[in-house]
Amino acid sequence: MPSPSRRSQFIPFSPIRAMFRLADEMDRAGQGPVIRFHVGDPDFAPPDSVIDATHQAMKAGKTHYPQSVGVHELRLALTEKVTRRNGIAAEWEQVVVAPGSTEALLAVMEVALDPGDEILLPEIYWPNYGQQTLLASASSAFYPLGAGYQPDVEGTRRRITPRTRCILVNSPSNPTGAVFPRETLRALYDLAREHDLWILSDEAYEDIVFDAEHVSLGSFERDLPEEERRVFSLFTFSKSYAMTGFRLGYIVSPTMSTATILRKTQEPLVGSTASMIQWGGLAALKDDGPIAVMRDAYRRRRDFAVGMLREAGLIDYTPQGAFYVLADVASTGLTGEEFATALLEEEKVCVAPAAGFAFALRFGAGGAPEGSVAPGAAAPDYPVNPRARHLVRIAFCVSDEDVKEGIARLVRFAARCRDRRGASAR
C-alpha cells in the first residue's frame, strides 16, 4: 500500500479533540451535563436579520455558483467596512471572500510562501497555523512572548533567518486573550519592513476587545504606495456575529496583484463561498448593535472569571480581548493535561490543555519537518514548549451561569489538588 504524504502525516491533531471526545462520552453516559470551556464557539445566535437575509437569498434563487472571490455587493460593503473601521486603504478588488478565515489563512500562506520558506508564529498559538504551515509545505519557527503574552520584539528579531518570509500576528489572541498595543504592532511592522517579510494579520477577534483598542496592522501602510505594502489582513464573521457555522470570512490583500493571485488560489481551493451565506453576511454588516451586546456579555464573563482565578492564584494577567484566558495550574502539581482530565472527571468541567497550543514543530535545514510518526499513529508525538506545560485554556463564551458555576468548580478543584499535594509532602 502506498503511504500518505509525509506532510499530511506530520500535521498535529487539534488540542481540543481528546477533550471533546471525553466530554461527549460523559454526557452520553448520563454523567453530565459538562460545562464546556474547551471550545471557542459563542453561545449566542446570529442576528435575526442574518437568518432572514440568508433565507430570502435562497428563495430568490441565490443558489448558484458565485464568483470565486465573492459576491460583488458584499465585497463593496466590506471595502467600506475595512476603510472606515480598520483604517485600511483598499479597493474592492483587494477584498476576497472566503468560507471562513481558516480557509483564508491557508490561501494566504499558499500565496506568501514557497516550499521550505519559514513563517514566524507566536510561541503559543492557534494550532491551525502550525497545521496550515505544513499543508503549504512551509516551515514554522516561533517568536517569544513576554509578560502578559505580549510579543518580545527584540526576541522576534533574533528568530529571523534567511529563510524567513512571513510573520503571523494574532491580536486579540487565541489562546491568550492578549491584545497588542499600537507601539508593539508598529515595532513588529517595522521589523517586517526591515527584513522584507509578509505579515499575516489574523484579526478574527477584532470586535471583542475590552479595555484596550484594536489596531489593524494594515492601517500602518495606508499611505504607502502599493509596491511597498506587505500586510494580508484576515477577518471573519464567526466571532463578531456568532456566525461560526455559516463559514464566512475575508481577506484584504495588500496589493492588486496579490489579490489577483489569491483569486487564482481560491479557484482550486474552494471554488467559491456559498452564495446565500454571503447575502446573510451583507445583512450582518448593516447593524453593529449585536456586536456591542455580545462584547458586553464577554466582558462581564471575563471580569467574573478573572476575579476568581486571580484570587485563587491561577492567573497573573488580565486578557483584554477574545474570550479566552490561560490559567497556570503549576501550583496543583499537575500538568495542564492531567489537570484537564481530572477536572472533567471530578467536576464535569472541560478545559483545553495549552500543550496543544504550543507544539514545538521542528524543521531541518532544507525546511522538511523533523521527527517520525510511530507505526499506527497518525501524527508525531510533538515536544511541547515548556512554557505551556502547566497552562489550560478556558473559553468563556458559555452562559453567565455556566461561567460562574464552572469557574467556581475549577477553583475548588485546584484547591483540593493543592491540599492533596500538601498532605502527600508531609
Contacts to ligand PLP by CB under 6 A: 40, 100-102, 126, 170, 174, 202, 204, 236, 238, 244, 249
Among the residues of 286-387, which ranges form H helices? 289-311, 336-347
Q: How far is the CB of 75 from ligand PLP (least distance, A)?
A: 17
For residues 287 and 423, give the distance between their C-alpha atoms in angstroms, rounded to a whole number.
57
Q: Which is nearer to ligand PLP, 236 or 335 (CB)?
A: 236
Q: Which is nearer to ligand PLP, 100 or 369 (CB)?
A: 100
Q: What are phi and psi of 167, to 5 degrees?
A: -130, 135
Q: How far is the CB of 361 from ligand PLP (least distance, A)?
A: 17
C-alpha cell recorded at residue 283 = 445583512
Q: How far is the CB of 333 from ligand PLP (least distance, A)?
A: 30
For residues 250 and 204, give the distance between their C-alpha atoms in angstroms, rounded to a whole number.
10
Q: How far is the CB of 99 from ligand PLP (least distance, A)?
A: 8
Q: Which is nearer to ligand PLP, 351 or 417 (CB)?
A: 351
Question: Cβ(196)–Cβ(164) under 8 Å?
Answer: no
Q: Which is nearer to ligand PLP, 102 or 272 (CB)?
A: 102
Q: Which is nearer to ligand PLP, 244 or 278 (CB)?
A: 244
What count of other Cβ atoms lies within 10 Å of the Cβ of residue 284? 25
Q: Which is nearer to ligand PLP, 68 or 335 (CB)?
A: 68
375 residue type, one letter = P
For residues 19 and 13, give the distance between their C-alpha atoms in angstroms, rounded to a whole number.
12
Q: Which is nearer to ligand PLP, 22 or 39 (CB)?
A: 39
CA-atom Rg of the chain in angstroms: 22
How distant, in Å, are the alpha carbons of 107, 298, 364 from that of 219? Answer: 22, 26, 36
For residues 261 and 76, give the distance between their C-alpha atoms in angstroms, rounded to a whole number.
20
Q: How far is the CB of 83 from ligand PLP (least distance, A)?
A: 21
Q: How far is the CB of 381 from ligand PLP (least distance, A)?
A: 24
Q: How far is the CB of 102 from ligand PLP (least distance, A)?
A: 3
C-alpha cell recorded at residue 306 = 478573572
For residues 293 and 288, give the distance between their C-alpha atoms in angstroms, rounded to a whole number.
9
